[in-house]
């Protein structure tokens, strides 16, 4: 009797084992898929993939005021990547800004933001990175000037600007707001660009999200708190989510480095996560009274000449798309009248757009973006300064005049 039931018992055991294996495999695949999503949210590909390079193999040059840094190989190659790392090693690197051997990481890696990432999310990202094809590519040595090539100096930077710790939800806010704060402050590391960087390469907590020049790329990342710049306090949630998800909305269009962020990262977020970010970003905008007319550093006579020449250039080159009164044709041709990005204290972005042109990102929601042609080869420095001055001071805009010298200095800026 016992022998008759033995095959049945064995078959049942094998079936249970197969089911358990299938369940473990499904769980593993789900964790990897979640890790891929989170790596997108963190825009890991932007730094850890060089132009024309293998995905996550590192080697991307990142110029800084202190020299050039090169991103590291985070593929699972055992000799040159993170193939020998454990999940604990990866979490400590993200959380503490130190390599598994305790070595200090330069803060070009935004560990000051990534420290807020939860252990579960860190483990999922690590599982995903372990699943990508390994690439045997040695990390390139950084090329930093003395004394910045001394890693021990990072200890001082960490004392001033680094606070270790996972994100703690604010019990006084909604789950949606907290999710948005976690993505913006943590994985998205938005403050890395949208905060002013001081001479030591750091940002004080009180200055977070208040805008600043991106020295590596010669673009200005506007303040996310001031409604005079990119503060979103008077935007609708739909306008914000459209901009984050597609790169264009009825209120504005993204170009330059932000276009890369939307293309590589934000367009892949779920609608719920995009909305959560919008809710948080709208909440941190500070009330701003109408700005006073900006004081120009140029003599009044020179400013008047620039306005006259600028109108001539604008009517000939710009009005066909942006309208005779700067009204635009949103969402594809953004309005210039009353445009916050035009009248900011820094004129870097409008000057660069006139010189270099550009496209919003190609996204699922905007697969064939309308672009702006470059005028660097068609307009002189005086004409560039004139048309930017005209745009910044017309139709209710209150930006200061710019000089031909400012235009000339940006002609040689990197295009990305």
Give the integer Cα–Cα distance in Å for 173 and 81: 40
Report pLDDT digits (tens) over 27-65. 789 999 999 999 999 999 999 999 999 999 999 998 888
Which residue is it, tokens 């702006």? 372
Give residue 6's pLDDT. 54
Residue 13 has pLDDT above 60, yes or no: no
**At which of 162, 180, 205 does a domain end?**
162
| Nearest 10 degrees: Cα torsion 194, 212, 264, 336 | 100
Please list, in sequence order, all residues whose beta carbon lies within 8 angstroms of the beta carbon of residue 24, skipping any fewer than 6 positions away: none
The mean-pLDDT minimum among 80-84, 179-183, 188-192 falls in 188-192
Residue 1, pLDDT score? 45
Q: Provide the CATH number for the domain around residue 381.
A: 1.10.760.10
Query: Has residue 134 been placed in a domain?
Result: yes
**Between residues 126 and 146, which one has the greater pLDDT?**
126
Q: Measured between alpha carbons, how far is residue 408 from residues 379, 402, 404 in Å?
A: 11, 11, 6
Say if residue 148's pLDDT is above 80. Answer: yes
Task: Compute the average pLDDT of residues 153-166.
Answer: 92
What per-residue confidence (pLDDT) applies to 47?
Answer: 94
Above 90 in pLDDT, residue 229?
A: no
Question: Residue 11 pLDDT more than 70?
Answer: no
Better pLDDT: 299 or 306: 306
pLDDT at 359 exceeding the cut of 80? yes
Check residue 204 and give its pLDDT: 78
Note whether residue 127 is domain-resident. yes
Is 234 a domain residue?
A: no
Residue the block writes with tokens 């930093």: 144
Indicate if the pLDDT at residue 24 is higher than 70.
no
Is 289 a residue whose pLDDT tops 60? no
Identify the domain boundary among 102, 137, 162: 162
pLDDT number for residue 232:
84
Q: Is residue 215 part of a domain?
A: no
The percent of residues above 70 in pLDDT, for the chain, comes to: 88
Position 200 in a domain: no
pLDDT digits over 79-129, tens only? 999 999 999 999 999 999 999 999 999 998 999 999 999 999 999 999 999
Q: What is the CA radius of gyration of the chain?
A: 25
What's the number of domains the chain is made of?
Answer: 2
Nearest residue to 356 (alpha-carbon basis) of 371, 338, 336? 371
226, part of any domain: no
- d(C-alpha 225, C-alpha 287), whole Å: 9
CA dist 329 to 132, 251, 307, 318, 355, Å? 43, 11, 24, 12, 21
Tell me the residue range of the domain where 138 lies: 18-162
123 in any annotated domain: yes
Cα 167 → chain centroid = 19
End-to-end CA distance of the chain: 78
In this structure, are residues 170 and 177 in contact, taking their beta carbons and an 8 Å threshold?
yes
pLDDT (average), residues 251-275: 94
Q: What percent of the chain has pLDDT over 90?
A: 62
Which residues touch 329 (CB under 8 Å, ≥6 apart)? Answer: 321, 323
Task: Name the average pLDDT for the chain.
Answer: 88
Q: Is 402 inside a domain boundary?
A: yes
Name the domain boundary from 106, 127, 162: 162
């Amino acid at each position: 009797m016992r022998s008759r039931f033995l095959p049945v018992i064995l078959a049942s055991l094998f079936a249970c084992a197969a089911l358990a294996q299938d369940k473990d495999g499904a769980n593993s695949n789900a964790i990897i898929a979640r890790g891929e999503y989170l790596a997108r949210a963190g825009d890991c590909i932007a730094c850890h993939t060089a132009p024309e390079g293998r995905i996550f193999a590192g080697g991307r040059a990142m110029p800084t005021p202190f020299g050039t840094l090169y991103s590291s190989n985070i593929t699972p190659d055992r000799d040159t990547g993170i193939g020998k790392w454990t999940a604990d090693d990866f979490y400590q690197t993200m959380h503490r800004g130190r390599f598994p051997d305790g070595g200090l990481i330069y803060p070009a890696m935004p560990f000051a933001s990534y420290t807020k990432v939860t252990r579960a999310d860190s483990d999922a990202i690590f599982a995903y990175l372990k699943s990508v094809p390994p690439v045997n590519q040695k990390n390139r040595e950084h090329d930093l000037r003395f004394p910045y090539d001394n890693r021990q100096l990072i200890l001082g930077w960490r004392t001033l600007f680094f606070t270790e710790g996972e994100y703690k939800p604010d019990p006084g806010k909604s789950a949606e707001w907290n999710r948005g704060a976690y993505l913006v402050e943590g994985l998205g590391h938005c403050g890395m660009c949208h905060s002013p960087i001081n001479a030591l390469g750091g940002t004080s907590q009180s200055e977070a999200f208040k805008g600043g020049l991106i020295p590596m790329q010669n673009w200005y990342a506007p303040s996310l708190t001031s409604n005079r710049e990119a503060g979103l306090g008077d935007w609708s949630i739909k306008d914000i989510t459209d901009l984050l998800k597609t790169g264009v909305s009825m209120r504005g269009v993204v170009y330059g480095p932000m276009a890369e962020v939307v293309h590589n990262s934000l367009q892949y977020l779920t609608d719920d996560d995009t909305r959560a970010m919008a809710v948080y970003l709208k909440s941190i905008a500070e009330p701003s009274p109408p700005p006073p007319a900006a004081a120009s550093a140029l003599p009044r006579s020179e400013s008047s000449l620039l306005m006259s020449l600028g109108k001539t250039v604008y009517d000939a080159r710009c009005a066909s798309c942006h309208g005779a009164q700067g009204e635009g044709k949103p969402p594809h041709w953004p309005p210039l009248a009353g445009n916050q990005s035009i009248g900011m204290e820094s004129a870097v972005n409008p000057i660069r757009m006139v010189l270099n042109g550009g496209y919003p990102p190609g996204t699922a929601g905007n697969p064939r973006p309308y672009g702006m042609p470059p005028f660097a080869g068609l307009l002189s420095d005086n004409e560039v300064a004139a048309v930017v001055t005209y745009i910044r001071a017309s139709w209710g805009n209150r930006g200061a005049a710019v000089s031909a010298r400012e235009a000339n200095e940006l002609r040689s800026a990197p295009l990305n």
